[in-house]
Amino acid sequence: MSDIYPAKLYQIDNLRLSLADMTQKPLIGAAPRLEILKGLSFDIPKGEILGIVGGSGSGKSTLGRALVRLLEPSSGTIKFDGQDITHLPETVLRPLRRRFQMIFQDPMSSLNPRHRVGQIIAAPLKLHGISNPKQCALEALDHVGLPRKFAARYPHELSGGQRQRIGIARAIALKPEFILADEIVSGLDVSSQAQVLNLLETLVKDLGLTLAFISHDLSVIRRLCTRILVLHQGQIVENAATAELFANPQAAYTRELLDSIPLPDPNQIWT
Amino acid sequence: MQFFQSVLLRLSTTFVTLLGVAVIVFFVIRVVPGNPIAMMLPPGATESDVTRLTALYGLDKSIPEQFLIWISGVIQGDFGTSITTKQPVLQLVLNRLPATLELSVMALIIAIILGGLMALTGTRLRGTKTEAAIDVTNGMALSVPDFLWGLILILTFGVLLPIFHISGRVTPSLQLPFTTNFYLTEAVLRLRFDLWLDIAAHMFMPALALAIPLAAIIGQLLKQSLKETMHLDYVTLARTKGYSETHVILHEALPNAILPTLTLVGVQFTFLIGGTVIIERLFSYEGLGNMAIDAVINRDLPLIQGIVILFAVIFTGFNLLVDLTYAALNPRLRHA
């Protein structure tokens, strides 16, 4: 059975994650645990662009952070390229981190305002012992379609779309196998969104990346992803290929989400 | 050009402030009870002795008249003569100033090191028992005033475990080859580390007493700013790149979190100089503050005026410097 499917980069089995609920913490004693992820199981094959959708509070960002091990799951397993990374301690994890990268929602707060763009991209390369980090940083700028002179600029000198490209350049410069993109276009205007999405698509093809794309916006997901995971209250309600999901949504929650996509109304009158 | 204008404006307001201070101190110390002439004369002096001496010091003239005489002297750099020591006030005050400045700067350095360490350790070990212990220590350091710390230090490291000197600025039997009164600085410049050690051992406890409350304020604010910065995406991102937690704190969070603390240090430094008055008395440290208390006890009017004016000059001068530094560092303030 597994022979006919492409190799799996991520294998997630019965993933559960709970966090301390500080709002309910009694004055003395431990805070009660709040279960965010309630037993998720799915795979991410190599080369796939997986869309993760869900309303706010559905656990999609938490899932993303567990995938790149910013959070440690309470139970279940996460296997990355066959290796169990579920409970690896930080020191063991550190050399692995190069292989799964993350791009954030807010391109401003994800770039250190005191560092130049070139430094932002090159510094992690030095950490992981990649030779000639400066050259690699410039090539990463080429990849995301920004002029090389941007390396000398500070983040505040760039537009939102440009900053998000820096975020992408920083992720791909490390030559990772997996990138997690968390709501990365929701802060951008529509034309910048389209540019960033096109860029991601090209990069995934050219660099052989696997991508998980978190969004609450199904129209963005439809445009980019090959497969979609719908999360609702910490559980997977649907996991289907994009075309299939849009043609024939199985879960009630998925239909609800699809209905909420605004469609251009030909009868609309501008007032 | 605009920058230059704002500097001029700021300078002129500084002069108005200083004039205000001069007026207030001059009149207040003449209104409160206590007569310097009575302090100088032996018991049994006659009425005519009092009158003669009062006239000699010009204290028989009306208070506004005395003020005009004094202030015109001040403008020419003559702060009058001390009633008790018969020496020029300016010379007395300037002789003592280096001792107080060295003490304050040492206290400031200790406060920055202690506060910085508390904030960084607390951030590194956040969520652990150690962080809670640091917070409690911080609160204690903050709620005990500096002079009480002075007493505690004297009792523990002066009496119970006599490690440090509890009084004076330097062991009196030592031969000092110094030409200025910046003993600690000059000892380094002359490479006399034996003397430096002796002076530092005298200064350490008063400086520490001054530093502890300030360290607590610095530690608290810096930790708070670090906490806010640690939540920002670029800090999380540095972690996903595989940087160690210590590297993340020192290289990503700290440079962005330190600005509010620097602002605070600028303001608190002037308070620290004010704190030297009591601390110097406690440790019999020969600085300006100790001299101020002696001057008040002896009702040495010209000396009190001189010391207060000098403190005011230090305060306003330092605030001016802080403001100008901000203006130079922050383009938004510069063009405001």
Sequence letter at residue A64 = G
Residues 6+ apart with CB under 8 A from B184: B102, B106, B196, B199, B200, B203
Q: Is there a contact between A155 and A113 (Cβ–Cβ < 8 Å)?
A: yes
- Please name the helix (run of DSSP H) or strand (run of DSSP E) that holds residue A231, with its range, or none: strand A227-232
Residue B318 in tokens: 């330092």
Residue A20 forms beta bridges with which residues? A33
pLDDT value, residue B314: 87
B233 with A104: Cβ contact below 8 A: yes
The per-residue pLDDT for range A111-134, each reduced to its tens digit, is 888 889 999 999 889 888 888 889
pLDDT value, residue A271: 59
pLDDT value, residue B44: 77
CA B198 to chain centroid: 22
Cα–Cα distance between A64 and A102 in angstroms, integer?
9
Cα–Cα distance between B96 and B74 in angstroms, integer?
19
The per-residue pLDDT for range A170-191, each reduced to its tens digit, is 999 999 999 999 988 887 888 8
Closest by alpha carbon to B312, among B24, B33, B68? B24
**Contacts with B232 from chain A: Cβ below 8 Å:** 109-110
The per-residue pLDDT for range A178-227, each reduced to its tens digit, is 999 998 888 788 888 888 899 999 999 898 899 999 998 888 888 899 99
Q: Å from B122 to nearest chain A CA?
A: 19
pLDDT value, residue A79: 93
Q: Lowest-pLDDT range, A34-38, A148-152, A256-260, B274-278?
A: A256-260
Q: What is the ipTM of this complex?
A: 0.73
Closest by alpha carbon to A67, among A229, A224, A226? A229
Tell me: pLDDT of A1 over 50.
Answer: no
Output DSSP code: residue A28: S
A104 with B245: Cβ contact below 8 A: no
For chain B, where do the domains classified as CATH 1.10.3720.10 start and end? 97-297
Contact with chain B for residue A111, Cβ under 8 A? yes
Cα–Cα distance between A267 and A258 in angstroms, integer?
21
Phi, psi (degrees; rounded to nearest 5) at B164 = -110, 160
Residue A19 forms beta bridges with which residues? A34
**Contacts with B234 from chain A: Cβ below 8 Å:** 109-112
Q: Å from B228 to nearest chain A CA?
A: 12
For residue B289, is it left (φ>0), alpha (ψ between -120 and 50) or beta? alpha
pLDDT value, residue A166: 92
Closest by alpha carbon to B14, among B329, B315, B215, B333? B315
- Please give the residue of chain B at the shortest CA–CA distance from A174: B241
pLDDT value, residue A3: 47
Residue A45 forms beta bridges with which residues? A8
Contact with chain A for residue B241, Cβ under 8 A? yes
Low-confidence ranges of chain B (pLDDT < 50): 335-336
Tell me: pLDDT of A136 over 60.
Answer: yes
A128 with B242: Cβ contact below 8 A: yes
- For chain A, the first-to-last Cα distance in angstroms comes to 58
Contact with chain B for residue A70, Cβ under 8 A? yes
pLDDT value, residue B332: 54
Phi, psi (degrees; rounded to nearest 5) at A18 = -125, 150
Give me Rg for the CA atoms of chain A.
20
Q: Is there a contact between A151 and A183 (Cβ–Cβ < 8 Å)?
A: no
Cα–Cα distance between A181 and A105 in angstroms, integer?
8
Classified by CATH at the fold level, domain B97-297 comes out as: MetI-like fold (1.10.3720)
Closest by alpha carbon to B311, among B73, B25, B16, B78? B25
Closest by alpha carbon to A10, among A73, A90, A58, A59? A73
Contact with chain B for residue A128, Cβ under 8 A? yes
Give me Rg for the CA atoms of chain B.
24
**Contacts with A68 from chain B: Cβ below 8 Å:** 240
Give the strand pairing for A178-182 and A210-215.
parallel
Contact with chain B for residue A174, Cβ under 8 A? yes
CB-count burial class (<10 Å; 0-12, 13-18, 19+) for A208: exposed
- Please give the residue of chain B at the shortest CA–CA distance from A176: B241
pLDDT value, residue B336: 41
Q: Is there a contact between B305 and B26 (Cβ–Cβ < 8 Å)?
A: yes
Handedness of CA A225, A36, A42, A171 (dihedral sign): positive
Residue A117 in tokens: 């763009």
Where are any strands of DSSP class E within B90-171? none
Cα–Cα distance between A109 and A230 in angstroms, integer?
28
Q: Å from B240 to nearest chain A CA?
A: 6
Closest by alpha carbon to B53, among B39, B63, B65? B39
CB atoms within 10 A of CB A160: 16
Tell me: pLDDT of A250 over 90.
Answer: no
Output DSSP code: residue B81: B
A102 with B252: Cβ contact below 8 A: no
Contact with chain B for residue A92, Cβ under 8 A? no
Which of A90, A97, A109 lies closest to B241 in CB terms?
A97
Confidence of residue A268 (pLDDT cuts 50, 70, 90): low
All domains in chain A, ordered by first residue: 8-21+34-257 (3.40.50.300)
